[in-house]
Every structure is written in structure tokens, then in C-alpha cells.
């Protein structure tokens, strides 16, 4: 292989490597389906527990309907929006929308999943209080 051919090949490998590095920042979207609260409590108590858990993590929590809260997290130039549905015994977190998180219909920036997992853990912890 000539020097020119080798340089072109190495350049192509570099571009391919950058493309793969970008893919490593995304992961399958994490949704929560029917996670159990600790014990049972009235819907109004569950609403307050979810609101406290979210607010403690910087989420803006807005009631949409009985048993439904919309959570919005704004971090730097990123935004994540989820719908939280809940009953006296369980809750679900479902992706609604995002900004600057590379969502493509199935994959999203891996930080999103961490934010949702922390929200899930904090909601469960609040339900035990």
C-alpha cells in the first residue's frame, strides 16, 4: 500500500472511530412500568411523594389529571419530559419528549436513563417515608 493509500485508510478508520464513539453515548430508552411503592397510600399522598421526589432532584412536577403528573428536567441545554402515572400501589415513568438528548425513537443519550433511574429510586424512597 502506498503512503497516500495508507493515510487515506487511517483517516477512514479515524472517522469510523469517531462515529462509534458517538454511538456509545446513546442507549435504549429506559421506561418504568408499574414499579411498586412501599405499601399502599391514598392517591393524594402518592402525588405529594412523587412531587417531593422530583423536586429534590430538580424536576418541575405538574399535575395533568388525577393519577398523572408531567415531570420536566432542565439541565444546561438539555430537557427531558416524562409522564408519571400512578395508583395507590404503583407508578410508571414514560418518555414524552426531550431536547438535545439525541432521541431517535428507541435510543437516547445515556444520561437520560440515569436521570430516570434516580427519579424512580427517589419516588420509591419517598413512598417509604
- The total of structural domains in the chain comes to 1
Write out the three cell numbers for 96.
Answer: 414524552
Compute the average pLDDT of residues 62-79: 97
Look up the domain containing 30 and give its range: 26-127
What does the pLDDT read at residue 28? 97
What does the pLDDT read at residue 49? 98
Half-sphere exposure of 78 (CA within 13 A, CB side): 14
What does the pLDDT read at residue 19? 42
pLDDT digits (tens, 9 = 90+) for 88-128: 999 999 999 999 999 999 999 999 999 999 999 999 999 99
What does the pLDDT read at residue 12? 44
The answer to whether position 69 is within a domain reads yes
* CATH number assigned to the domain comprising residue 77: 3.30.310.80
What does the pLDDT read at residue 7? 52
CA–CA dist 123, 119 (Å, integer): 6
pLDDT digits (tens, 9 = 90+) for 9-39: 444 444 444 444 445 699 999 999 999 999 9
Q: Where are the alpha helices (DSSP H) in 28-109?
A: 43-56
DSSP 1: -
Query: Do residues 119 and 111 make contact, with C-beta atoms less than 8 angstroms apart?
Result: no
| Residue 123, Cβ density class (10 Å: 0-12 exposed, 13-18 middle, ≥19 buried) | buried
What does the pLDDT read at residue 5? 56
Give yes or no for residue 56 having a pLDDT over 50: yes
The answer to whether position 76 is within a domain reads yes
The answer to whether position 56 is within a domain reads yes
Q: Is the pTM of this model over 0.85?
A: no
Write out the three cell numbers for 17.
Answer: 472511530
Amino acid at each position: 500500500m502506498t503512503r497516500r493509500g495508507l493515510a487515506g485508510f487511517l483517516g477512514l478508520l479515524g472517522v469510523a472511530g469517531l462515529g462509534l464513539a458517538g454511538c456509545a453515548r446513546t442507549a435504549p430508552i429506559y421506561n418504568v412500568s408499574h414499579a411498586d411503592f412501599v405499601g399502599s397510600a391514598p392517591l393524594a399522598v402518592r402525588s405529594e411523594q412523587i412531587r417531593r421526589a422530583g423536586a429534590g432532584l430538580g424536576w418541575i412536577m405538574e399535575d395533568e389529571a388525577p393519577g398523572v403528573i408531567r415531570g420536566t428536567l432542565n439541565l444546561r441545554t438539555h430537557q427531558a419530559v416524562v409522564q408519571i402515572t400512578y395508583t395507590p400501589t404503583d407508578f410508571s415513568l414514560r418518555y414524552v419528549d426531550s431536547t438535545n438528548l439525541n432521541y431517535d425513537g428507541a435510543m437516547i443519550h445515556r444520561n437520560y436513563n440515569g436521570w430516570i433511574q434516580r427519579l424512580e429510586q427517589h419516588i420509591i424512597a419517598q413512598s417509604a417515608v
